[in-house]
Amino acid sequence: MDEIEPTPVGKFVQSLRARLRSDDRNQHCLLKGEISQWKPYASGHTYFSLRDDGGQISAVIWKGRCRIPDGIKDGQEVLVIGSVDLYPARGQLQIVVERIELIQKIGAMEQQKQKLLLQLRQEGVLDRPRKSLPSFPKHLVIVTGKDSAALADMLQLSQSRWPGIRTTVVGVTVQGEKAVEEIVRGLAVARDLNRESIASSLAIPPCDIVIVGRGGGSPEDLWAFNLEAVARSIAAMPMPVISAVGHESDILVSDLVADVRASTPSHAVECCVPLVDGHLAYLLDCEDRMLQGTLRQFNDARQQLQQLTLRLQLAPSKGVSEAVRHLERLGSDLHQRTTAALQLHKQRLAVLGNALQISHPKRVLERGYMMGVDDKGKVISSVSELSKGQTVSLQFADGEADANIDNIRQHEEET
Amino acid sequence: MTEETYSDALRRLEAIVAELERGGMDLETTLQRFEEGSKLLERCQNELKEAEGRLENLRLPDAEAMIDEAKEE
Q: Mutating which of A135, A166, A170, A288 best tests the B interface, going by the most B Cβ atoms within 10 A? A: A170
B1 belongs to a structural domain: no
Q: How confident is the model at residue A349 (pLDDT cuts 50, 70, 90)?
A: low
Classify A124-278 by CATH class.
alpha beta
Q: Inter-chain contact A283–B66, Cβ cutoff 8 Å?
A: no
Q: Is the ipTM of this complex over 0.90?
A: no
Which residues span the domain enclosing B57? 6-72
B23 belongs to a structural domain: yes
Return the ∠ at Cα A19 (arms to A17 and A24), rounded to 5°: 110
CB count, 10 Å around CB of A308?
10
Instruction: Provide CB contacts within 8 A for A145, sequence distance 6+.
Output: A151, A171, A172, A173, A174, A175, A214, A215
Q: For residue A255, with 0-12 CB atoms within 10 Å meaning exposed, 13-18 middle and 19 or more buried, which class applies? A: buried
DSSP assignment letter at A165: -
A63 contacts A43 by C-beta, under 8 angstroms? yes
Phi, psi of B12 (to 5 degrees): -65, -40
B13 belongs to a structural domain: yes
The domain tally of chain B equals: 1
Is it true that domain A9-103 has CATH number 3.30.420.10?
A: no
Torsion of the alpha carbons at A253, A256, A260 and A261, rounded to the nearest 10: 60
Give, for A314, the enclosing helix (H) or strand (E): helix A276-359
Residues A45-103 pLDDT 10s: 999 999 988 899 999 999 988 888 888 888 888 999 999 999 998 999 999 999 998 88
Q: Count of residues for chain B?
A: 73
A26 contacts A75 by C-beta, under 8 angstroms? no
CA distances from A166 to A131, A159, A205, A291, B45 (A): 21, 10, 8, 33, 17
Residues B19-43 pLDDT 10s: 988 888 877 888 888 889 888 888 8
> Whose CA is closest to A297, among B65, B29, B37, B71?
B29
> Whose CA is closest to A88, among A22, A26, A17, A18?
A17
What one-character-per-residue DSSP string does A33-57 give?
A: EEEEEEEE-TTS-EEEEEEETTEEE
Q: Inter-chain contact A171–B59, Cβ cutoff 8 Å?
A: yes
Q: Provide the edge-to-edge strand list for the sheet that holds A391-396.
A: A371-373, A391-396, A399-404
Q: Inter-chain contact A290–B38, Cβ cutoff 8 Å?
A: yes
Which of A135, A163, A204 minimises the CB distance to B7? A135
Q: Mutating which of B20, B33, B52 best tests the A interface, going by the most A Cβ atoms within 10 A? A: B20
Q: Mutating which of B34, B42, B67 best tests the A interface, going by the most A Cβ atoms within 10 A? A: B67
- Judging contacts by C-beta atoms under 8 Å, the chain B residues touching residue A163 are 53
State residue B3's pLDDT score.
44
Give me the residue spans of the domains in chain A.
Answer: 9-103, 124-278, 363-404
Give, for B62, the enclosing helix (H) or strand (E): helix B60-72
Query: From CA A168, how far away is CA A211, in angstroms rounded?
Result: 10
Residues A284-343 pLDDT 10s: 888 888 888 888 877 777 777 777 667 666 666 666 566 556 656 665 665 566 556 556
Q: Inter-chain contact B21–A289, Cβ cutoff 8 Å?
A: yes
